[in-house]
Amino acid sequence: MKYADMFRATENFTLKDEDAGLRRLGAAAAGVPDAKQLDKELTRELAQHIAEWQDVFTASRSKKLLIILQGMDTSGKDGTVKAVFGDINPLGARTVAFKAPTQQEKDHDYLWRIHQAVPGAGEIVIFNRSHYEDVLITRVHDWISEKECEQRYGHIRDFERMLTDTGTVILKFFLHISKAEQKQRLEERLKDPQKHWKFDPSDLAERAHWDAYQRAYENAVRATNAPHAPWFIVPADSKTQRNLVIAHIVREILDNLQLKYPAPHPEYASIRVPD
């Protein structure tokens, strides 16, 4: 589990902008020309491998897979879904994007809408944002106290423990970009007519709280990192490398599950299909 080990959050990790940049990994590390292109091709192969793995996953129905993507605005959550999970069969998979809660959602506990969306047996669900927003944006803006935030960490640990106890594999990715990289991506959204629709003035308001967000992420990741529901901190200033790293990690962990197609029914051996 080379990549999974390399990027799993450590107990006292901190978020530093310089760690968001390109690493000497994959084709880039070998110094080959067209390294970026080679990495893209490798990601595509890994994505296809994941899609093939989905077949045995659906057939065995013994597990549920929950992928959680978190990160600052423009960190590439949508791009990751497309690059790494673009080949899986939508019949057994869903992506759920959690927005600001509706009035009905606010009337319930913050895990209510989350629990409804978790995967069933043989299903893959990708959360684009998640219950972690309830200890991030809420904490940064002081909508909840530090005490309430600590209480929520406990709820989240209990909730994820229950999900894994009942057969869910949980993988949590923080897409780590630097403040400078976000500036560039926001400017692109403003300049490029094809990306203009993605720009939201509220992104600038949140950017003003950059440091508070980094601390909130550090605290949340430390408090909820667990062997059964690990956090991976993925350098994401390079989109190519971000996709490659996530695809590697997902593939490694899925292969490690060693799922098998269900054994054939012995009595089926004697069945003859009539003419």
Between 44 and 155, CB nearer to a copy of itself: 155
Strands annotated E in the chain: 64-71, 93-97, 124-128, 168-176, 231-235
| Cβ-based nearer residue to a copy of itself, 97 or 162 | 162
- By beta-carbon proximity to a copy of itself, the closer residue of 27 and 156 is 156
Cα 148 from Cα 145, distance rounded (Å): 5
The answer to whether residue 162 forms part of the interface with a copy of itself (CB under 8 A) is yes
Give me the sign of the Cα torsion angle 202, 196, 99, 75.
Answer: negative
Segment 111 to 150, residues that bind a copy of itself, using CB under 8 A: 111-112, 115-116, 118, 120-123
Smallest gap from residue 154 Cβ to a copy of itself (A): 8
3-state helix vs strand vs coil in the chain, percent to 5: 55, 15, 30
Contacts of a copy of itself in 73-112 (CB under 8 A): 104, 106-112
Q: How far apart are CA 254 and CA 234, in angstroms?
A: 18
Q: Please pick, from the candidates 36, 49, 129, 155, the single residue that binds a copy of itself as defined by CB under 8 A.
A: 155
Binding status of residue 151 toward a copy of itself by CB under 8 A: yes
Which residues of 84-179 form beta strands (DSSP E)? 93-97, 124-128, 168-176
Total site size for a copy of itself, rule CB under 8 A: 28
Q: Within 164-193, which residues bind a copy of itself (CB under 8 A)?
A: 165-168
What are phi and psi for residue 231, nearest 5 degrees?
Answer: -100, 140
Least separation in angstroms between residue 166's CB and a copy of itself is 4
Question: Count of CB atoms within 10 A of residue 109's CB?
Answer: 13
Residue closer to a copy of itself (CB basis): 146 or 187: 146
Q: Kindly list the residues in this chain that would bind a copy of itself in the complex (CB under 8 A).
A: 61, 64, 104, 106-112, 115-116, 118, 120-123, 151, 155, 158-159, 161-163, 165-168
